[in-house]
Structure 1
Amino acid sequence: MVLRRGISLWPWFSLTREFPAPRTDYDWPPFQSDRPVPTGDDLRRLAEAGFDFVRLPVDPGPFVAATGARRAQLLGQLFSAIDLCLSARLAVVLNLQANAATHHFTPESFYGSTAAPLFGAYRDLVAELARRSGLHAPGRIALEPVNEPPQACGALNWDRVQGVLLGAARAAAPGLTLVATGACGGMASGLTALDPAPIRRLAPVLFSVHFYEPYLFTHQGATWMTGEPFYRALNGVPWPAAQGSLDGTLAAVRARMRADTVTPPAEKAETFRLTEAKLREYFAADPDRRFLDRHLADVKTWADLYGIPAGEILMGEFGALRSDARYVASAPADRARYVRDVREGAEALGFAWAFWNLFDGLGLMDDEHRIDPAIIAALGLRPPAGRPN
C-alpha cells in the first residue's frame, strides 16, 4: 500500500459521551452530535486538492463497551464512513486513539501493558478491525493499532504490547498493511529507539512518526497541556524564530494574559515568569528549517540503519495550532511557513505524511467547511473548485 499525502479526520469517531464514574459505559449514541464531521463533498474536495489518503482516528472505548446489536451498529457506521472516503478516491489509515481524558477506557487501561485490565478486549478489537478491513477493501485500508503510546522511549513493555497487537492483526488479516510506531508519544525519539526487525517480519508494515517540533511554536495556546501552564499563555511565537522578536512575542503573551479574567494574578505572574524563560531559550536557539531537517534526518538515519525504504516511513501527524491573530497579525503566515517547511523536509527524505487535522485549532477547514488557502498552498496542493475558500 503506497501512501503519499494524507490528512486526519478527527473527531469523526471521537468526542464521546461517557457517563461519569462509577459508571463505565456510554450514553447512546456514544459520539457527540455536534462534533464536526466531513461530508462526502468535503472528502471529494480533499481528493481534488491532491490528498490520496485519510487517517481516521477512532476512539476504541465505545466499541469495547458496546455488545450485540449496538456493537454491530457502531461497526456498520465506521465502515460506512470508510466507504465514503474510498468512494472519494481516498485510501484509509484506520487508527485507534484511546482517550486519555476519560476515566475508564484510557490508554493505560487498554495498552499500558499486556496485563492491563482492558488489554484483552483491546487486542480482540484490533483483530476484528483487521479482519474486516482486510476483507472489505484489500489494498485500500491500513490499520494503525495504537496512537502515541505512553510508554517511555525504548521501553521493552511497549515492544511486547505492540508485538502482541500487530501479531493479532496479522493473524486476522494476512495481507493487510499495518502501521507500527515507537513509544513516548510516537515521537522521533521513540521510533529511533525501536528495534524494527521483529515487526518487519509481519510485513507489509509502515512505520509512523509524529512531528511537532518545536512545541513552543506548534502548541502555543494549547489549553489541554495542563501540566505545563506556559503553553496556554503562549501567543505570537514566530516561525522561524528570526521572523519575529522576543519583545514582540512577550507583548502578545501579555495581551493574551490580560484577556484572561479567571486566572488569579499570582498564578498569572508565575506563568509569565516560566513563559518568558522558555521564550528566551526559543529565541536563543533560533530554530528554522535547518532545525526541522536535523530532527527528521534522525528518522532517516534509523531507517537506513535497518534497511527500511523511505517509502515505508509515514509522518503520521504534523501541524501547528492557529495562534490568536487578535494579538499578532503575522500568526497565519508563521503557521503556513512552518507547515511548508515540515512538509518539504519530509518529502525531501521520501516520507509520506498526514497533516493534523481537518478540523479543530490545527485544522485545514473552518467551522463553515471552508479550506484555508494558505495551508493548502503550504502543503503543496491545489485549491479545489466548488465551495468558496
Structure 2
Amino acid sequence: MLRLAATLVALLLSVTAAVSTPPVLHRGVGLHQWLNWSPLATDGSYRWPPYRTVDEWLANDRPATDWPAGDPFAAIKALGFDFVRLTVDPGPLLATDGERRQEALAVLSEATKKLLAADLTVVFNLHSVTQVAQYGVDVINAPADTPESARYVAMTADVAKMLLPLGTDRVIFEPYNEPAHYPCDASGSDDWQTIMAETVATIRAISAEISIVVTGACGGSITGLTDLVPSFDDPNLLYSFHMYEPHSFTHQRSETEGGFASGLPWPASEGTPDSVVTMLETQMDIAGLDPAEQARNLQAVAPFIAEYFAEGWGEAQMVARVGEAVAWAKVNSIPTSRLFMGEFGAILMSADGRMGAFDADRRRYLAALRTDAERHDIPWAIWEYSNPYGMTVILPTGPAVPDAKMLKALGM
C-alpha cells in the first residue's frame, strides 16, 4: 500500500510540475577514491564520522607531496571537465538511521558543496562496494519486495532531501551503480524493473524537479538499459549505460596472481593472434619467467586471444552497440541527450607488461567511443580521475599530473 501511494504521488507530481530539464552535461570524470570504501574502525564498523577527508583521499594511494598545491577540484575544472560523477559508499547510510544518518548526510553535503564551489556540476552516485557485506552490493542485488531492497529505496529519499537544497540546476542524483539482476534475457525476473520504478517514485515524492539517473540491470550495461521499460519517464530523468565492450580489450588482466594478459590491439585489425603471443613471450622473458610458467600463462590466455580476433572487434561493432541504446531511446521518445554514458575506459599497460593495452590502442579506443557518444549528443564520464590501477586521467605514479595524451583522445 505504501509503495502504491508513493507511485501515485510521483504521478501527480510529474503532471503538475513545471516543465524543466536536467542540468546540461557534456564531459565528466568519475571521482571514486574519495568517498567510496568509507574507512573502518578496528571492530569492522564504519569509522565515525564516515568517509575520507580530502587530505586522506589525496594521500591514500601516493604521497600527498605528489599533488600540486591548490584546490584539487578547481584542477579538475581546469582540465575542461564540466561535471564530476561523485561515487559514494551507501554503507554508512544503510548502517544508520535518524540522527546518525543525518550526520553522515551532512558530511556528504559538505563534500558536494566543495565540488559545486569549483563550478562543477555533480552527479551524486550511490556506489555499492563489497567492504561490509550486509551493506554492500548484495543489497542492491536483492530481490524486489525484500527488507533489504525496501530499506535501500527508503534511504534514497533521505539522500534526495539532502541534495535538494544544493540546487536542482547543479546536482543530479544517481541512486545505483551497476546492479546485477542476471540473467539478462527472457528467463530473468522483472525485479529490477520494479525496484527502479519504486526508487523513482520514492524520490519523486520528495521532488519533481531533482534530476535522477536511471540505470538498467545486467551490470548497468547497454543490454540492461534496453531491457528497461521507462514507464516512469519524465523530463528530469537521464538513462545510464556503462560501456566497457569488448571487456576482453578494456580489462586486460590475468585472473592468476602474477599472470600475463595484455597487448590486444584496438581495433583487432591492427594486430594478429601471433603478434600478441610474441609480445607476451617477450614480456615474460624480461620478467624472468621460466618456460613452464610461460606455457601456463599462454595456455590460460589463448582462448581469449582467439575469441577477440574471431569477433574482429572494431569501430563498426562499437557504433552498433551504442546504437542499441540510441534506438531504445528513440523508440521510447527519449532524446539521446538524456542518455548518459556514465563510465567507459580501458586499462593502460602496466610497466611490467602484465596487464592492459598499449597506450596507442587505448587512445584509439577512447577517441572512437567518445566521438560516437558525442555524435548522438550523449554526455559521458571517463573512468576515473585518479587511481593506481591503470584506468586514470592522472598518471598513476610520480607527480600527480594529467595524462595529456589521454585527454587529447577525449577531445580536451
Band the TM-score falls in, shorter-chain normalisation: 0.7 to 0.9
Return 346-355 or 249-258, whichever deviates more. Answer: 249-258
The SS at the match of 1:47 is helix
Aligned with 1:109 (options 104, 122, 139): 139
Q: Letter of the 2:270 partner, please give it.
A: Q
Q: Letter of the 1:27 partner, please give it.
A: R
Q: How far did 1:117 drift?
A: 4.2
The SS at the match of 1:162 is helix
Are 1:27 and 2:47 counterparts?
yes
CA RMSD of aligned residues (A): 3.1
Aligned residues of 1:15 and 1:35 also touching (Cα < 8 A): no
**Alignment-derived partner of residue 33 in structure 2:** 11
Q: How far did 1:274 drift?
A: 3.6
Aligned with 1:238 (options 257, 265, 280): 265
Structure with greater Cα Rg: 2
Q: Letter of the 1:97 partner, please give it.
A: H
Q: How far did 1:138 drift?
A: 2.3
| TM-score, normalised relative to structure 1 | 0.85
Aligned residues of 1:317 and 1:355 also touching (Cα < 8 A): yes
Q: Letter of the 2:378 partner, please give it.
A: F
Aligned residues of 2:49 and 2:104 also touching (Cα < 8 A): no
How far, CA to CA, are the matches of 2:87 and 2:144 in structure 1? Answer: 22
Q: How far did 1:261 drift?
A: 9.3
**Alignment-derived partner of residue 216 in structure 2:** 182
**Alignment-derived partner of residue 298 in structure 1:** 324
Question: How is 1:99-248 mapped onto 2 (pairs within 5 angstroms)?
Answer: 99-152=129-182, 153=184, 155-196=189-230, 198-200=231-233, 202-221=234-253, 226=255, 233-248=260-275
**Alignment-derived partner of residue 90 in structure 1:** 120
**Alignment-derived partner of residue 289 in structure 1:** 315
The SS at the match of 1:362 is coil
How far, CA to CA, are the matches of 1:165 and 1:343 in structure 2? Answer: 30
Return 357-366 or 150-159, whichever deviates more. Answer: 150-159
Q: How far did 1:60 drift?
A: 0.4
How far, CA to CA, are the matches of 2:114 and 2:39 in structure 1? Answer: 24
Aligned residues of 1:40 and 1:88 also touching (Cα < 8 A): no
Q: How far did 1:231 drift?
A: 11
Are 1:344 and 2:377 counterparts?
no
Q: 1:50 to 1:128 in 2, by over 3 A?
A: same
How far, CA to CA, are the matches of 2:155 and 2:287 in structure 1? Answer: 43
Q: How far did 1:91 drift?
A: 0.4
Q: Letter of the 2:37 partner, please give it.
A: L
Q: Letter of the 2:266 partner, please give it.
A: W
Aligned residues of 2:220 and 2:240 also touching (Cα < 8 A): yes
Return 106-115 or 235-244, whichever deviates more. Answer: 106-115
Aligned residues of 2:85 and 2:125 also touching (Cα < 8 A): yes
How far, CA to CA, are the matches of 2:198 and 2:38 in structure 1? Answer: 27
Gaps of 5+ in 2: 1-21
Q: Letter of the 2:386 partner, please give it.
A: F
How far, CA to CA, are the matches of 2:115 and 2:88 in structure 1? Answer: 15
**Percentage of matched positions with identical amino acids:** 31
Q: 1:104 to 1:303 in 2, by over 3 A?
A: same
The SS at the match of 1:282 is helix
| TM-score, normalised relative to structure 2 | 0.81
The SS at the match of 2:298 is helix
Q: How far did 1:65 drift?
A: 1.9
Gaps of 5+ in 1: 382-389
The SS at the match of 2:173 is strand
**Alignment-derived partner of residue 386 in structure 1:** none
Q: 1:24 to 1:353 in 2, by over 3 A?
A: same
Aligned residues of 2:141 and 2:181 also touching (Cα < 8 A): no
**Alignment-derived partner of residue 6 in structure 2:** none
Give deviations 1:105-156, integer Å, cap 9, x for gaps. 1222245223444333322321111112122222110101110011123640
Give deviations 1:162-215, integer Å, cap 9, x for gaps. 11112111111221000101110011111111111x220x44100000001111
Q: 1:274 to 1:61 in 2, by over 3 A?
A: same
Q: 1:339 to 1:315 in 2, by over 3 A?
A: same
